[in-house]
Amino acid sequence: MKKVSEELRYDGATIQQVHEMLANKSFREKVCDAQGVLRHSVKIDANPDGMTVEIDQVQAAQGIPGFAKKFAGETTRAVQTEEWNSPAGGTISIATPGKPTSIRGTLTLTESEGRTTETMEAEIKVKVPLIGGKLESVMADLVASGMDKEQTAGAAWLQGERG
């Protein structure tokens, strides 16, 4: 098991603005495009207390070490599910159907001094003898890269770049 912690910072944005962005299907699709996803579907069910987000995506297995590519194949499918129980937080899980991997954790939004920070705290588990720890590190790097691309897309979105 590998623990990961990622922070996305949005200057000049309130928790409500960031939550509304995260609840927007067009924004989530823009993030998939920024991450180089080959195919995706986005479902968002908002409710008075929060929302449920499901992003089913297929990505090319590019930029990963050879030993991991043998495990992953040419493409990999990930199903990201977020359960927000309030505008300020919820849970995240990322499943990879057919693979012995999982990511589970929490998402929180905090606001301070004109900035909202989205924090993801999660645990990555890969149940593969001998190379599981190495695969967990590869997955942690991929999560960090994806979060960096989400932050770039989010900052642009909050500045009005919606096209």
Q: Which of 16, 77, 79 is nearest to 51 (CA)?
A: 16
Quick one: 44 exposed, middle or buried, by C-beta within 10 A (0-12, 13-18, 19+)? Answer: middle
Domains of the chain, each with CATH number or no CATH: 2-158 (3.30.530.20)
Q: What is the token pair recorded at 8?
A: 């996305």
- According to DSSP, residue 100 is labeled S
Q: What is the largest CA-CA distance in the chain?
A: 47
- Per-residue model confidence as pLDDT tens for the chain (163 residues): 999 999 999 999 999 999 999 999 999 999 999 999 999 999 999 988 899 999 999 988 776 777 666 666 778 899 999 999 999 999 999 999 988 899 999 999 999 999 999 999 999 999 988 888 888 998 898 899 999 999 999 999 999 998 6
Q: Which two tokens stand for residue 49?
A: 């207390």
Residues in the chain, total: 163
pTM over 0.95: no
Rounded Cα distance between 44 and 62, Å, is 28
Distance (Å, whole) CA 24 – CA 53: 10
